Amino acid sequence: MKDLLMVIDMQKAYLKGAPWECLDTEGAAANIARLIDSGAADGAVFTRYEYPKAPVGVWKAYNELYADINADPVNEEFVDELLPYTERFPVYVKDVYGSFSDPAIRAAVRESGADTLVVCGVVAECCVISTVCGAVDEGLKVIYLTDAVSGFTPEKMAGVLAVLSGWMPLHVETMTTEEYIASRAERKEKRPVMISIAAADRNWAIGKDGDLLVSIPEDMKFFRETTKGHTVVMGRKTLESFPGGRPLKGRVNVVLSRQMTPGETQVDERTKLVVLPGIEEFLAWAEASGQDEIYVIGGGSIYRAMLPYCSKALITFIRHGFEGADTHYPNLDEDPDWSLAEESESFFWAPPAEGGPADEAAAEPVEYSFRTYERINNICY
| Site residues for ligand NAP per CB under 6 A | 198-199, 206-207, 210-212, 234-238, 241, 256-259, 277-279, 297-302, 305, 327
Nearer to ligand NAP, 246 or 258 (CB): 258
Q: Which is nearer to ligand NAP, 121 or 330 (CB)?
A: 330
- Nearest residue to ligand NAP on Cβ basis: 299
Q: CB of residue 285 vs ligand NAP: minimum separation in angstroms? A: 13
Question: Minimum CB separation from ligand NAP for residue 295, in Å?
Answer: 11
CB of residue 374 vs ligand NAP: minimum separation in angstroms? 19
Nearer to ligand NAP, 17 or 259 (CB): 259
Q: How far is the CB of 342 from ligand NAP (least distance, A)?
A: 18
Closest CA to 233 of 181, 190, 198: 198
Q: For residues 130 and 238, which CB has a smaller minimum distance to ligand NAP in the complex?
A: 238
Pick 150 or 327: Cβ nearer ligand NAP: 327
- C-beta closer to ligand NAP: residue 165 or 266: 266
Residues 78, 27: Cα–Cα separation, whole Å: 15
CB of 140 to ligand NAP, least distance (A): 20
**Shortest CB 14 distance to ligand NAP, Å:** 40
CB of residue 363 vs ligand NAP: minimum separation in angstroms? Answer: 20
- Nearest distance, CB of residue 23 and ligand NAP, angstroms: 44
At 234, which amino acid appears? Answer: M
> Quick one: 59 or 222, whose CB is closer to ligand NAP?
222
* Sheet bearing 205-208, strands edge to edge: 211-212, 205-208, 327-328
Nearer to ligand NAP, 60 or 319 (CB): 319
CA distance 332 to 56: 43
Nearest-CA neighbor of 77 among 172, 10, 167? 10
Q: Is the Cβ–Cβ distance between 265 and 246 less than 8 Å?
A: no
